[in-house]
Amino acid sequence: AQSVTQLDSHVSVSEGTPVLLRCNYSSSYSPSLFWYVQHPNKGLQLLLKYTSAATLVKGINGFEAEFKKSETSFHLTKPSAHMSDAAEYFCVVSDFNNNDMRFGAGTRLTVKP
Amino acid sequence: DGGITQSPKYLFRKEGQNVTLSCEQNLNHDAMYWYRQDPGQGLRLIYYSQIVNDFQKGDIAEGYSVSREKKESFPLTVTSAQKNPTAFYLCASSTGGRAYEQYFGPGTRLTVT
């Protein structure tokens, strides 16, 4: 069975500085990986996804993530944080062989002015 | 506009009462899901349905029930047997099975006192 670990429950950055949200996964097969964002009291919105094509994936709002199989990681980055990026971010791993999807516990991103 | 609607956004009930949460989608997706979200615990799968008139238990199905009589609709009933029903409930859908990208509704916050 697959699993995903988000290494930080809370990350705080200043506006205009880089963002790094860390995610490690475990999967027996070639996984698909996703990052979702959730603003307070809202549903989840897909930021980006990896499905065995290019290892560097670009998403919406300037976010990108790199799939590193050797490190079993899929960290989310953004060069310059904006106040509107403050939200909860979820890393998700899915496995088509098991027809399963698992969510990380989430990382809350705070952006300071 | 295609999407998922959940109603109501906020719901208040007394302990011991059953309550039904609505989820409707016009994306023509085959699969639908119900998740429960509690602070710091990410999303946990309650039930899912891959086709009409069929559904499976997720990780935390006890105290919940669902039906899938129409492709567009997947209501969730929180019964009085659910010991701790206060939570944020999210509905989602996907084109295929659980491993596919999921699209989320805006959520319903249920408070039981």
Separation between Cα atoms, residue A92 and residue A34, nearest integer Å: 5
* Chain B hits for A43, Cβ within 8 Å: 4, 6, 90, 104-107
Query: pLDDT digit string (tens) for B8-46?
Result: 999 999 999 999 999 999 999 999 999 999 987 889 999
With an 8 Å Cβ cutoff, are A103 and B42 in contact?
yes
Instruction: Name the band, by pLDDT with cuts 50, 70 and 90, for residue A13.
Output: very high
B100 interaction partners in chain A (CB closer than 8 Å): 94
Residue A41 near chain B (CB below 8 Å): yes
Q: How confident is the model at residue A14 (pLDDT cuts 50, 70, 90)?
A: very high
The counts of H helices and E strands in chain B are 0, 11
Pairing of strands A107-112, A10-14: parallel
**pLDDT digit string (tens) for A17-75?**
999 999 999 987 788 999 999 999 899 999 999 987 789 999 999 999 999 999 999 99
Tokens of B46: 């309650």
Say what the pLDDT of residue B1 is. Answer: 59
Q: State how far residue B112 is from chain A, nearest Cα, in angstroms.
A: 17
Listing DSSP states for B47-97 in one string gives EEEEETTEEEE-TT-TTEEE--SBTTB--EEE-TT-S---EEEEEEEESSS
Question: Are A99 and B99 within 8 A, CB to CB?
Answer: yes
The pLDDT tens digits for A86-104 are 999 999 999 888 888 999 9
Closest A-chain CA to B58: A100
Greater confidence (B42 vs B61) lies with B61
Q: Cis peptide leading into B8, omega within 30 of 0? A: yes
> Which residues lie closer than 8 Å to B89 by C-beta, 6 or more apart?
B6, B21, B34, B35, B36, B37, B46, B76, B78, B107, B108, B109, B110
Residues of B in contact with A100 (CB under 8 A): 98-99
pLDDT tens-digit readout, B70-112: 999 999 999 998 999 999 999 999 998 888 899 999 999 999 9
A61 φ/ψ angles, rounded to the nearest 5 degrees: 60, 30
CB contact under 8 A, B104 and A43: yes
> Cα distance from B7 to chain A (closest Cα, Å)?
13
Q: Are residues A90 and B42, on separate chains, in Cβ contact within 8 Å?
A: yes
Distance from CA of A17 to the nearest CA of B (A): 25
